[in-house]
Chain A
Amino acid sequence: MLEVTGLAVAYGGINAVKGIAFSVRQGEIVALIGANGAGKTSTLKSLAGLVPAAAGRVHYDGVDVTGFPSYRLVALGMALVPEGRGIFARLTVAENLDLGGYTRSDVAGLRADRERMYALFPRLAERRAQNAGTLSGGEQQMLALARALMSRPRLLLLDEPSMGLAPLMVQKIFETIRSIAASGVTILLVEQNAKLALQMCERGYVMESGQITLQDDAAALLANPQVRRAYLGE
């Protein structure tokens, strides 16, 4: 579904991503793990059309989407849940969800989807008229997920969904991600919490200073002594 070759991202003279290749197949959950500053977020931002790629090609659903602006990618069914959630803090929960469905024009479908989100996240339903900025971190992450789902994505790019959340909330968010995947959405997950990410995924890539250094089935990566030492704290 997603085929990335030779992707590079540069900010001024700094090369954040130095020519990486990876793929995500339809229906998979794939994890991209690595330490702070390894280039994971830059990779996702580039895929979502928020920062330009310096080199490389991206194929999505067999179409070369290299250099596509974000609004075209969203319309093609690719949605990003940005790092730090990026919710509209001073708009209500309902307004946030409406903006998530910005690229769609089927009013009835949008209304139905919003109700579906409220059913999936009852906490959001309770707080629908509340400023999104007043939600707790976990609720904000739920809102960010729900908002991304409002565009009816087929590929969901998740950037650090566990960031800054209490362990119990992290469990909850990951359960939700699993159920989203079960509903047929393909997921590319960027995480620092390598253990949690790999336990949920089929395959994983390890990124280090802008390059992919390891790739394998998630179970194999979890057993890999190098990974265990560097990312699982053993």
Chain B
Amino acid sequence: MNAHSAAQMRTATKQSGKRAGYALLVLGLIVLPFAVDALLGRAWVRIIDVALLFTMLALGLNIVVGYAGLLDLGYVAFFAVGAYAYALLASPQFGIHFPFLILLPCGALIAACFGALLGAPTLKLRGDYLAIVTLGFGEIIRILLNNLNRPFNLTNGPQGITLIDPLQAGAFTLGKSFSIAGISVASVHAYYFVFLLCALLVIAVSLRLEDSRIGRAWIAIREDELAAKAMGINTRNIKLLAFAMGATFGGLSGGLFAAFQGFISPESFTLLDSIMILCMVVVGGMGHVPGVVLGAVLLTALPEALRYAGPLQEQWLGRVYIDPADLRMLLFGLALVLMMLFRPAGLWPSKIRKREWST
């Protein structure tokens, strides 16, 4: 056998190895909720569901912050808009029960409009100034939701909206367990698959955008806005598009969240949530889709894992020395500081970011 055909063989095995890897990944993702249910309990399946929602949110924010370099501290507002759009039109609040197949895209679209609405007045702002305005925007949305129960009761104020319809079509609902071919599928498992599909869609769109004319224009704006303009990039529209695209993912995720929880209130959409999503993007690796997914999953799962810290202390030390809730924030802060010191470009940065930090 000569060297040439040996090389061909190698690439062939590499390709089939890659295919096998993908097949394994798909299989793993299908089995995951059932395995987790059996090993760790149903609560953890729920946590995985939430992690998928945050994956979508983090990928949405990644478009604004990671690609276009526009620091947005009020991103959770779009999550809230999507959630309330779904909740108001699929709950006893107004007695309206639209089907989710209409509501989810509509919620995403409404969130996109809000994205453009936030983008328009902030076109000339950058960095710290933009961060402050977006922060204010996030707070305005939350406070509005909190107070729009008077004079006309739109949002039911701080009590929030209850009895939101689950994802359902006709008599079939994901709100209760059901059985397919003799296998009983619990509600959290069913939601897992819906969220997984949506997350995969968001990942696919993100990757496609990154490698497009629009994606390159976003990166050019991030690097040097004036030069980007000189290249003939319509910076105004491209920036608005970044805000709208990011908000779309946030709105979609919000609608799914409302259907999943069955209850939402303004409390779920605070500044701390915005910062948490931003941390997912930064910790994972700004502008790099696999990194952002990793960041979202890690930062959703780790705080939950730390809940075990309380019982463990009791078991080993006799009593609880540090409250688990305090420990979470303590470790989270420590982790962020260590990250910034040792992996400033994120856990799994993109090639460009790696280059940026090495030059």
Residues of A within 8 A of B (CB): 48-50, 69-71, 73-75, 79-80, 82, 86-91, 95, 98-100, 102-103, 131, 133-134, 147, 151
Contact = CB atoms under 8 A, between A and B. Distances in A.
B359 A86 contact: no
Contacts of B208: none
A151 B227 CA distance: 14
B116 interface: no
Contacts of B226: 50, 82, 86
Given A89-B223, A90-B352, A102 B229 contact: no
Contacts of A75: 232
Interface of B: 213, 216-217, 219-220, 223-224, 226-234, 352, 355-356, 359
A143 to B, nearest CB: 11
Most buried by A among B219, B229, B355, B359: B229
Given A90-B359, A95-B216, A134-B359, A80 B230 contact: yes
Nearest to B355: A131
B345 to A, nearest CB: 12
Contacts of B355: 90, 131
B233 A90 contact: no
A224 B150 CA distance: 79
A114 to B, nearest CB: 14
A56 to B, nearest CB: 21
Q: Is the interface of B mostly helix, strand, loop or mixed?
A: helix
A69 B234 contact: yes
Nearest to B220: A99
Contacts, number: 67
B232 A70 contact: yes
Given A131-B355, A131-B359, A70 B217 contact: no
A9 B28 CA distance: 63
Nearest to A95: B216
B229 A70 contact: yes
Contacts of B230: 48, 50, 70, 74, 79-80, 82, 86
B231 A100 contact: yes
A71 B232 contact: yes
Contact of B224 (A86, A102, A134): A86
Nearest to A50: B229
Contact of A88 (B227, B229, B232, B234): B227
Contact of B233 (A71, A87, A134): A71
Contacts of B216: 95, 98-99, 102
Given A71-B234, A91-B220, 7 more contacts: A70-B230, A90-B223, A90-B355, A91-B223, A99-B231, A102-B231, A133-B359
Contacts of B232: 70-71, 73-75, 102-103, 151
A102 B213 contact: yes
Nearest to A78: B232
Contacts of B223: 88-91
Contact of A86 (B217, B227, B233): B227
Given A71-B234, A95-B216, A102-B216, A87 B359 contact: no
Nearest to A87: B227
Nearest to A90: B356
A88 B229 CA distance: 12
A95 to B, nearest CB: 7
A47 to B, nearest CB: 11
Contact of B231 (A89, A134, A151): A151
A95 B355 CA distance: 13
25 contacts: A69-B234, A71-B234, A74-B232, A79-B230, A82-B227, A86-B224, A86-B227, A86-B230, A88-B220, A88-B223, A89-B223, A90-B359, A91-B220, A91-B352, A95-B216, A98-B216, A99-B216, A99-B231, A102-B213, A102-B217, A102-B233, A131-B355, A133-B359, A134-B359, A151-B232
A134 B356 CA distance: 11
B224 A88 contact: yes
